Structure 1
Amino acid sequence: MATYAELLDVYLHDPGPESLRALREAILEAPNFRPDLEITELVGPPMAAGDYAAAVSAVHGLMPGAIFSPSAHAALSDAQRGLGNFEQAQREATLAQAALDSIISTGEGTEAEPWSVLRTSDAYDVVMASGKTPRSQVAVGKLDRIVCTDSTVWFFDTSTSPARA
């Protein structure tokens, strides 16, 4: 079996449904994968205290289950920047954007074609990256519907299904 790093590298060099499916399936099988992962709550206190090394350590402790979480890679980028590791910070920022792009590639955000996410926080990452503010979230069958303060409505498939073919 390919390593997580190899699967991620394959996806980054050839982003498409098959490489995303393989990466996501491996992430779902990680022994510490958590669909309820909340990176912000974990790294908020050390980041606020300027303890960037503790933030990096905390996120690294969640790997491989947190691989390709936009929040995880964004937090690592911020923490690495705080440590003065600008090249590593840029790499993590690139991974955070690639993770967001991968989600957007799975659908249209509509009820008929929802975006597929591995974690609920991934859905919120998409909303926040769009510059919108979530107002409410409700389950609609196997989907989560997020309504934003500007009345934008997006649908996410949080059933941890692989990317659409």
Structure 2
Amino acid sequence: MVQQGSVIRTDQPADATVTVSLGKGAWDCDKRAAIPPEKEAEVFEEIATMDFPFEGIPTVPPRKDMDHMVFFCSGCRYRVTAYRDWTVARVKQALWDGGIQRSNKPESVRNTPGLHRWQDLTLSYAGQHMEDDKRLMEYHVPPGCQALIAIETAKLSTKPDRESAYWN
């Protein structure tokens, strides 16, 4: 029996090598380094404990780290120090300085200009695109939020071509 992601496979012996799809990983912008897959649950405080069990089942306890926020960008999680009273521009600069531009696809395969400066990013929370001069608290972003999006601004205005199945 081998555990693969959240699926337990019984068709292979326990010592078999199994490739686990972990997405594109995680990046710590403060350390400017990748977060190893085996450390992600610890870093993002996603380890279930019996501190607050639900009908005898372990649950993930409330977060303690309120100094970091997590942004999803091109399939990768980016962890960065950010506070609710910071402006959106300051958070974008922190993400940029921390290495979010590594999410760019190679120039030969991308259909947008890519990220070349922090102004090329748009941050989003709860379906709202955030303006640079506003503070995160104006968008009701909670401390230590782990559900934010960073996206290349050019992707927001790109429409599928006329022949695309998208329009059918």
TM-score (norm 2): 0.27
Bigger strand share? 2
